[in-house]
């Protein structure tokens, strides 16, 4: 199965159910190709960085630009807000107990969600 044609970004809610902290990851899928078999999952950088690579007082939209460029060459992308950032929702989140393991768990859930929709999956991130 392949990821179909989307002229506009598609917005996704992915439930994280077996996590030590339950919640909803919200992200954006962009795919302008008629069919694409490749997906890149973009992980935001350190700190309170949202799915677009922005922080409070610092807007650069680096991930939006990168994802649109990927789409132009037929590669689908999914970028998402990390736990406690942007529109992702984790009602019982305690930042003091949040670890890198939680973020890794989220990427695994996202990969599981898309695994039957593409043949090749890659991860793009920076800093964390």
Over range 106-118, report the average pLDDT: 87
Q: Judge contact between 24 and 92, C-beta under 8 A.
A: no
Q: Can you list the pairs that 63-66 forms with residues at least 24 positions away whose Cβ atoms lie under 8 Å?
A: 66/42, 66/124
Query: Hey, how many other C-beta atoms are within 10 angstroms of the C-beta on 52?
Result: 21
Q: Judge contact between 21 and 92, C-beta under 8 A.
A: yes
pLDDT digits (tens, 9 = 90+) for 20-48: 567 888 889 988 656 678 899 999 888 88
pLDDT band at 122 (very low <50, low <70, confident <90, very high): very high
Query: Hey, how many other C-beta atoms are within 10 angstroms of the C-beta on 38?
Result: 19
More confident residue, 17 or 29: 29
Residue ranges of domains in the chain, CATH in brackets = 3-125 (3.40.50.1820)
């Amino acid at each position: 199965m392949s990821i179909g044609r989307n002229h506009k970004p598609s917005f996704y809610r992915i439930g994280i159910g077996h996590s030590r902290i339950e919640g909803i990851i919200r992200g954006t899928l962009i795919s302008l190709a008629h069919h694409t078999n490749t997906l890149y999952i973009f992980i935001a950088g350190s700190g309170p960085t949202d799915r677009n690579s922005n922080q409070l007082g610092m807007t650069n939209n680096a991930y939006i630009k990168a994802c649109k460029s990927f789409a132009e060459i037929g590669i689908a992308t999914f970028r998402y807000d990390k736990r406690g950032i942007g529109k992702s929702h984790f009602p019982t989140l305690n930042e003091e107990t949040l670890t890198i393991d939680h973020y890794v768990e989220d990427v695994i859930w996202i990969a599981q969600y898309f695994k039957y929709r593409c043949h090749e999956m890659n991860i793009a991130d920076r800093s964390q």
